[in-house]
């Protein structure tokens, strides 16, 4: 992928579903010349973050994807202030495995609380072969 500055896709708001978020991400990355490995990694992260927002956090309230010469940043906002759970949390709390997967693919993740919930950003590095 070429370019030095982060390029943003307009923020999407409430009601975004996994299929629509994946389509947006695929279009942005394909237009940028991203390789299949990077696209696959980003689509998996998008799927996990969006489905978790829908399933556990009152739905998606914002979506953004941006990239520069070294990584793709996937941003998903939701309506819950609760942080994602990891495996090993009490059995009565669902989930955790998608968050573990996101953190294995992403170079780093950030969780930013705000008045209307939180925003999670996953930074996916370009593969060495990209």
Q: pLDDT per residue over 20-65, tens digit each? A: 999 999 998 988 888 899 999 999 999 999 999 998 888 999 999 9
Q: Output the CA angle 1-99-58, nearest 5 degrees.
A: 100
Q: Would you state the structure tokens that stand for residue 12, as one six-digit string? A: 């999407």
> Does pLDDT of 97 surpass 70?
yes
Task: Please tell me the distance from the alpha carbon of residue 55 to that of residue 26, in angstroms, as a whole number.
Answer: 22
Check residue 130 and give its pLDDT.
Answer: 43
Geometric angle at alpha carbon 120, from 118 and 121, rounded to 5°: 145
Q: Where is pLDDT greater, at 7 or 106?
A: 106
CATH (residue range 7-125): 3.30.565.10
From 35-39, 58-62, 93-97, 105-109, the region with the lowest mean pLDDT: 93-97
pLDDT of residue 95: 55
Closest CA to 75 of 117, 104, 115, 35: 117
In this prediction the pTM is 0.82
Give me the pLDDT at residue 112, please. Answer: 95
- Domains of the chain by residue range: 7-125
CA 19 – CA 22 distance, rounded (Å)? 5
DSSP annotation string for 25-79: HHHHHHHTT--HHHHHHHHHHHHHHHHHHHHHSSSEEEEEEEE-SSEEEEEEEES
């Amino acid at each position: 992928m070429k370019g030095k500055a982060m390029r943003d896709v307009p923020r999407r708001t409430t009601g975004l579903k996994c299929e629509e978020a994946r389509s947006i991400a695929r279009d942005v990355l394909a237009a940028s010349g991203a390789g299949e490995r990077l696209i696959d990694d980003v689509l998996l992260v998008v799927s996990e973050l969006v489905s978790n927002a829908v399933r556990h956090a009152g739905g998606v309230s914002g979506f953004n994807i941006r990239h520069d010469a070294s990584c793709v940043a996937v941003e998903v906002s939701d309506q819950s202030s609760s942080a994602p759970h990891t495996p090993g949390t009490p059995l009565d709390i669902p989930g955790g495995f998608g968050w573990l997967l996101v953190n294995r693919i992403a170079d780093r993740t950030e969780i930013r609380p705000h008045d209307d919930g939180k925003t999670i950003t996953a930074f996916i590095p370009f593969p060495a072969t990209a």
